[in-house]
Amino acid sequence: MSVPEPFFIRPISKKGATDCCILLDRPAYNRRSQHTLSNIRSLHRSPLAQLIDGKSIAQEIRNEIRAEVADWVHTGHRPPQLTVVLVGDDPASASYVRGKQRAAEEVGIESTTLTPDPSISEHELVDLVEKLNRDPDVDGILVQLPLPPHINPTRIIATIDPDKDVDGFHPENAGRLMTGQKGFIPATPFGIMELLRRSNVSIESKECVVVGRSNIVGKPTALLLGGPTGNGTVTLCHRKTVNLASHTRRADILVVAVGKVNLITADMVKEGATVIDVGINRVPDPTRKRGYRLVGDVDFKNVEPKVARITPVPGGVGPMTIAMLLRNTLTAATRHAFA
């Protein structure tokens, strides 16, 4: 072991063992105290966090699904089928849907994207979804959000057959999750739990804090962390929470899903915590070809040295969402075959 001057090591002999203590050379300390204190602090600085590589874990899951689909087809079943309904011309939605389609094809899942005219009425979209519900060759239905302003997304989601609702947004699937029954888990919370499991993060008896209470991420994540699969002790925070930092500092596992840049700073995080950053935000960056870069809700640069594990943005939770959507689609296909 080495220490910076003006400290020195004195051995201490004990029965059957040798220990040591660090002593201070007082005159040298008086001459260089400021420099020395800085060096001593550096001995105790926490190492950088382990990055939870969502991209790598998602690829691992895709490889598993590909093998399972191949076995499924080999036994005489048709490939699982996913139909995505994309209404409107939102660039982000279109890009996301293309990514889903590529991922599905990669693992052997058949994928179809329907693009009705943006002027389609709510009644007509309901009719389209009901037609897909009745189609025995469709295993999974996903209506890409957001929808045009004249269409009520709640009504459309409620129209999807719960057994084909691979996004896990239908009220019946939400109820199944709440009561511990078999159903479809929303892909992002499902992915968060899989990230934790495959990163060997123990949830049981841990303090878990979820920031954000959306129906898509926050609420179902809290249920999963605190339910029989997690057995954590969960606090759910939101925009009306008073003194947010007093809650986040207690968290052994902190999940943030709000959509606000640098919402969580280093002083709000417990030493050695695991941080899952679900946020995806665009910030201007003239050095990038596209003029912006993606960041999360967590001040990554300053939080990373303080915690044990953290997901990056991008490359953390995002890839897991599509991977778990594929997992839900394969599950739907097997359930339909044996219904």
Instruction: Catalytic residue, from 53, 100, 163, 219: name it.
Output: 100
50 catalytically annotated: no
59 catalytically annotated: no
Positive or negative torsion for Cα 224, 230, 235, 238: negative
Q: Are strands 292-295 and 281-284 parallel, antiparallel or unpaired?
A: antiparallel
Tokens of 336: 């339909």
DSSP structure class, residue 268? G
CA-to-CA distance for 224 and 190, rounded, in angstroms?
8
Instruction: Catalytic residue, from 53, 81, 139, 144: name it.
Output: 144
CA-to-CA distance for 146 and 97, rounded, in angstroms?
12
Containing H/E element for 19? strand 17-24
Find how far residue 246's CA is from the centre of its chain: 23
Instruction: Catalytic residue, from 167, 252, 277, 297: name it.
Output: 167
Torsions phi, psi for 11 (to 5 deg): -65, 145
144 catalytically annotated: yes
CA-to-CA distance for 35 and 277, rounded, in angstroms?
36
Angstrom CA distances, 120 to 127, 145, 319, stand at: 11, 15, 31
Enzyme catalytic residues: 100, 144, 167
